[in-house]
Amino acid sequence: METNKFADKGDRTNKDYDIRQNSNIKIAEQAVKESLVLLKNKKNILPLKKSAKVAVIGPASDNIGVQCGGWTKTWQGGLDVGDKRWMSGTTILDGFKEMADEGRGIIITDPAKIKDADVVVAVLGEHPYAEGKGDEKTLGLSEGLAFSDNAHTLKIAYESKKPIVVIIVSGRPRIITSEINKWDALVEAWLPGTEGRAVASVIYGDNCNFKGRLPVSWPKSAEQLPITIEKLDNNEEYDALFQYGFNLKYSN
């Protein structure tokens, strides 16, 4: 009988095995591309041109820990600290830089230079969490487990007077009703895990289109929670910001 070299003998690691093999990365990136949901695209601002000057700002733009959420390495997950990443992989910002390099575009990350951009991409998010810690009575965009810096990021974006594309990295919808009319485009990225580069691929329409549909109803306010499709089926009040199954795609 052949011995399984990966059998648990007190050490579950094997230095000869790398989970981030190309085949695994491709599968993970495909999962990201097919789960992104386009919720708003005013005047077809997306897809972005690879030659554009794009400002990419926000607390979820360059952090693999945020992208992974809870149940990665530890129960409640964790955050990148400085140059030390929570997991190996690529961030959303990495992807934007790669797309810009292909088209000789420019990526701006310094808020002081944001007025030089053609468009501002604000990547908002929330702290990693799992059950227990993740329970919240309100789901505000800059309170509770949402990053407080989300509000500052939007302030910078609004002051730039540039078109604004918002990407939300979260495990659930957050209340955005008071802000969404100020945005030109909105993408719900959920938790893309270690392959944030794939988010940028879809934003630029790099041989791909949006495929994801909302797997939940997106509430207008916390007072509506829980809001489910059953309310619509039972002729109850169902006034979602975005209905279950909603999605947009790039026009052909």
For 20-39, write each residue's pLDDT tens digit: 788 899 999 999 999 999 99
If asked whether residues 112 and 135 sit together in one domain, one would say yes
Separation in Å, CA 42 to CA 11, 38, 80, 142, 250: 53, 11, 33, 24, 11
Peptide bond into 47 cis (omega under 30): yes
pLDDT of residue 17: 52
Residue span of the structural domain in which 223 resides? 214-245
- Residue-wise pLDDT for 80-100, tens only, equals 998 899 999 999 999 999 999
Least confident of 15-24, 66-75, 243-252: 15-24
> What is the phi/psi pair of residue 31, to 5°?
-65, -40
Task: Mark 40-77 as b/e (b = at least 16 C-beta within 10 Å).
Answer: bbeeeebbbebebbbbbbbbbbbbbbbbbbbebeeebb
Q: Is residue 114 in some structural domain?
A: yes
Q: Is residue 219 in some structural domain?
A: yes
Q: Is residue 6 in some structural domain?
A: no
If asked whether residues 102 and 44 sit together in one domain, one would say yes
If asked whether residues 237 and 207 sit together in one domain, one would say no
Q: Is residue 3 in some structural domain?
A: no
What is the average pLDDT across 153-157?
Answer: 98
Tell me if residue 46 falls in helix, strand or coil. Answer: coil
Would you give the DSSP letter of residue 48? P
pLDDT of residue 83: 87
What is the average pLDDT across 63-78?
Answer: 95
If asked whether residues 51 and 63 sit together in one domain, one would say yes
Top pLDDT among 238 and 235 is at 238
What is the average pLDDT across 50-54?
Answer: 98
Q: What is the DSSP string of 13-42?
A: --TT--S--HHHHHHHHHHHHHH-EEEEEG
If asked whether residues 113 and 220 sit together in one domain, one would say no
Q: Is residue 250 in some structural domain?
A: no
C-alpha torsion angle, residues 55, 59, 60, 63 (rounded to 10): 110
pLDDT of residue 233: 67
Residue 218, pLDDT above cutoff 60: yes
- Residue-wise pLDDT for 173-196, tens only, equals 999 999 999 999 999 999 999 999
Q: Is residue 158 in some structural domain?
A: yes
Residue 78, pLDDT above cutoff 80: yes
User: 87 and 72 in contact (C-beta within 8 Å)?
Assistant: yes
Residue 236, pLDDT above cutoff 80: no
Q: Is residue 203 in some structural domain?
A: yes
The number of folded domains in the chain is 2
pLDDT > 70: what percent of the chain? 90
What is the average pLDDT across 230-242?
Answer: 78
If asked whether residues 96 and 208 sit together in one domain, one would say yes
β-pairing, 164-169 vs 119-125, is: parallel
Residue 66 maps to which CATH number?
A: 3.40.50.1700
What is the average pLDDT across 111-120?
Answer: 97
If asked whether residues 79 and 157 sit together in one domain, one would say yes
If asked whether residues 172 and 149 sit together in one domain, one would say yes
pLDDT of residue 229: 83
Name the token pair of 26: 């491709």
